[in-house]
């Protein structure tokens, strides 16, 4: 498994409650204890106050948020690539492209942040600009680039100087150069003594001597006197003339605006849409730290590695993370009714009629003889207390209570006292918005063609229950409309007195409640 699967996301349901978060953490811990450590707990929503209290009390980290399991760029084998320095010459970039069989290079700064890109086509176009004799000055090209491009040697001058003015000119004879060479020009010559001296005397900024012709002492002295640099190259005049313009830096021709780039977290679907609407072939990829990481092409989109997931505390599509149909479900651990999720391959499915998923996870620890640490014990205990309302819920079984009491021993806490503190923190709605209070423990279900939401808040004090009811109650009709549901039913449960006040929204909701419970609204 470790070779074929990069990692497995252990995920609870949307609008996670304490069981959803704690079962994800504790089950991922169990799986890592039994095999390769590739299992990572995730959450697909904000945690509520009760869960925040639990995580802080037991020193557990909040699982990383995951909003979708659709394939992303990071699930593909795209082309990892180092960025190049913007001062690299076009010639060096061209050679790098040939060596690495690439036709696009990305320019980055010292922090590996993307600054632009250059393509083979850009370099070819630049090479065809044969009448732009001042391109080296316009591009502020360093003499070091010229030396490297011409495989030359600087006999006189500083390689780090920058060309800021002048044209590139081929010196053939003094007669042909008269009234042509201007001060600051770069002149390519051969071994003709009079041509060399004429160029220096005319104010050339640099003399490039081709064919590795010797530099006489007199020429060097004259050049030093006139402030003229001297570079020698083994190339003949034709080759040197063709190559010298390729010494300008890639930054001078790079595309640095309206760049189309993708984050490693961009979904493959979105990448396809963008690629289909542009003529570019290669696109920069930015890693999660915001730095350049490589390039991607349409060919990379054919070999998609789907994400691997384990679902805990749910088995219905309406409650699952976005894009589940694009992922590979390895396991489902749940205690709810069997819902609508389908798998593309056989999967371990453990579903038991108990009050909490963590009760099942606790059993699996025992079955596999894995030691339960105080932290894991505290998390699983908290989930069982939350889901069973401290054993008062009609879904609670003797198995739940037995597991909770044993976990309380392992965690080293007094069960009833700890439960009071946990519910007290979870029931406080001070400072919450109606939407935050509503989403604390809320799920959407489907029955035939009917879609409905069910939520529950559990409170240790009547004060907290009434405050929550006043906050969330008026929000129910708005939430039903936003979510396109037929009904919403919301329970405000008094844990101590084992009673619930039920609020509802949707045409005909009241009649359904009267029929189901034999009561009058």
- How is 153-179 classified by DSSP, letter by letter? EEEES-TT-B--S--EEE---HHHHTT
pLDDT for residue 50? 92
* CA dist., res. 456 & res. 495, Å (int): 12
Say which residues have a Cβ less than 8 Å from residue 260's Cβ, sequence separation at least 6: 274, 278, 280, 283
Please, are residues 384 and 405 in contact by the beta-carbon 8 Å criterion? no
Residue 310: Cβ within 10 Å count: 22
What is the SS3 assignment for 326? helix
Residue 218: both structure tokens together: 């007199």
Strand 206-209's sheet: what is its strand order? Answer: 153-156, 229-232, 206-209, 186-189, 168-170
User: CA-based angle 130:131:132, to the nearest 5?
Assistant: 95
Residue 326: both structure tokens together: 């694009």
DSSP 6: S
pLDDT for residue 285? 93
Regarding beta strands 8-11 and 229-232, do their DSSP bridges make them parallel or antiparallel, or are they unpaired? unpaired
pLDDT for residue 3? 42
Each of the 521 residues of the chain gets a pLDDT tens digit; together they read 444 678 999 999 998 999 999 999 999 999 999 989 999 999 999 998 899 999 999 999 999 999 999 999 988 888 888 999 999 999 999 999 999 888 899 999 999 999 999 999 999 988 887 678 889 999 999 999 999 999 999 999 999 999 999 999 998 888 888 878 888 999 999 999 899 999 999 999 999 999 999 999 999 999 999 999 999 999 999 999 999 999 999 999 998 888 899 999 999 999 999 998 887 788 999 998 999 999 998 888 887 888 999 999 999 998 999 999 999 999 999 999 998 888 888 999 999 999 999 999 999 999 999 999 999 999 999 999 999 989 988 899 999 999 999 999 999 999 999 998 998 888 778 778 898 889 878 999 988 899 999 999 888 788 888 999 999 999 999 999 999 999 999 999 988 888 899 999 999 999 999 999 999 98
Q: Which of 334, 327, 279 lies closest to 307 in space, CA to CA?
A: 327
Residue 26: both structure tokens together: 């504790």
Alpha-carbon dihedral angle through residues 34, 40, 46, 51, given to the nearest 10 degrees: 30
Alpha helices in 333-442 (DSSP H): 357-367, 374-387, 398-411, 415-427, 434-438
pLDDT tens digit sequence for 323-359: 999 999 999 999 999 988 888 889 999 999 999 999 9
pLDDT for residue 432? 83
Q: Which of 503, 418, 517 lies closest to 453 in space, CA to CA?
A: 503
pLDDT for residue 428? 77
Helices 374-387, 49-57: crossing angle, 10 deg rounding: 160
* CA dist., res. 266 & res. 70, Å (int): 9
Give me the numbers of helices (H) and strands (E) for the chain, helices first please.
Answer: 19, 21
* CA dist., res. 148 & res. 162, Å (int): 14
Q: How far apart are the first and last CA of the chain?
A: 55
Q: Which of 352, 373, 375 lies closest to 363 in space, CA to CA?
A: 352
Task: Please report where in the chains the tokens 């039920």 appear, as a residue.
Answer: 502
Q: Which of 59, 23, 64, 50 lies closest to 436 in space, CA to CA?
A: 50
Q: Which helix (H) or strand (E) holds 470?
A: helix 462-472
Using CA atoms, how far residue 230 sits from 175, 176, 224, 277, in Å, is 22, 21, 9, 50
Alpha-carbon dihedral angle through residues 358, 363, 367, 373, given to the nearest 10 degrees: 60
Q: Work out the burial of residue 304: count CB atoms within 10 Å of its CB; fewer than 13 is exposed, 13-18 middle, 19 or more buried.
A: middle
pLDDT for residue 4? 67
Alpha helices in 247-315 (DSSP H): 268-275
pLDDT tens digit sequence for 248-303: 999 999 988 888 999 999 999 999 999 988 877 889 999 989 999 999 988 888 87
């Amino acid at each position: 498994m470790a070779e074929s699967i990069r990692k497995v996301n252990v995920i609870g349901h949307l609008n996670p409650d304490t069981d959803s978060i704690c079962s994800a953490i504790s089950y991922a811990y169990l799986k890592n204890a039994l095999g390769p450590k590739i299992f990572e707990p995730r959450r697909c929503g904000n945690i509520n106050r009760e869960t925040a209290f639990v995580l802080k009390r037991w020193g557990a980290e909040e699982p990383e948020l995951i909003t979708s399991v659709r394939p992303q760029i990071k699930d593909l084998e795209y082309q990892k690539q180092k960025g190049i320095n913007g001062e690299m010459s076009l010639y060096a970039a061209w050679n790098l492209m040939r060596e690495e069989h690439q036709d696009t290079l990305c320019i980055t700064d010292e922090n590996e942040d993307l600054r632009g890109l250059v393509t083979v086509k850009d370099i070819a176009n630049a090479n065809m600009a044969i009448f732009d004799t001042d391109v080296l000055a316009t591009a502020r090209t360093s003499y070091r680039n010229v030396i490297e491009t011409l495989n030359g040697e600087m006999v006189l001058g500083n390689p780090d100087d920058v060309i800021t003015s002048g044209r590139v000119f081929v010196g053939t004879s003094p007669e042909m150069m008269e009234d042509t060479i201007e001060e600051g020009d770069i002149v390519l010559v051969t071994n003709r003594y009079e041509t060399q001296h004429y160029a220096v005397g005319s104010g050339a900024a640099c003399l490039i001597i081709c064919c590795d012709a010797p530099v006489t002492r007199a020429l060097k002295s004259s050049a030093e006197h006139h402030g003229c640099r001297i570079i020698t190259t083994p190339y003949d005049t034709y080759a040197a003339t063709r190559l010298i313009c390729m010494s300008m830096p890639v930054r001078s021709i790079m595309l640095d605006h309206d760049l189309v780039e993708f984050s490693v977290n961009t979904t493959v679907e979105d990448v396809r849409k963008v690629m289909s609407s542009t003529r570019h072939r290669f696109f920069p990829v930015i890693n999660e730290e915001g730095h350049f990481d490589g390039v991607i092409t349409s060919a990379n989109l054919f070999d998609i590695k789907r994400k691997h997931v384990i679902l805990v505390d749910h088995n219905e599509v309406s409650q699952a993370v976005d894009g589940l149909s694009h992922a590979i479900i390895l396991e489902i651990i749940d205690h709810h009714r069997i819902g609508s999720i389908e798998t593309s391959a056989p999967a371990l499915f453990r579903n038991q009629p108990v009050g909490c998923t963590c009760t099942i996870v606790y059993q699996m620890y025992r079955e596999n003889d894995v030691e339960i640490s105080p932290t894991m014990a505290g998390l699983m205990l908290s989930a069982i207390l939350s889901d069973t309302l401290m054993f008062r819920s009609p879904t609670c079984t003797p198995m739940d209570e037995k597991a909770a009491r044993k976990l309380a021993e392992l965690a080293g806490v007094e069960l009833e006292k700890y439960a009071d503190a946990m519910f007290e923190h979870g029931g406080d709605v001070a400072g919450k918005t109606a939407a935050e209070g509503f989403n604390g423990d809320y799920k959407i279900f489907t029955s035939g063609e009917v879609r409905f939401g069910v939520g529950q808040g559990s409170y240790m004090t009547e004060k907290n229950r009434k405050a929550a009811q006043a906050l969330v109650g008026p929000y129910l009709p708005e939430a039903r409309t936003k979510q396109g549901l037929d009904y919403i039913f919301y329970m405000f449960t008094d844990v101590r007195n084992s009673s619930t006040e039920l609020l509802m929204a949707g045409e005909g909701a009241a009649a359904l409640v009267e029929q189901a419970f034999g009561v009058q609204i």
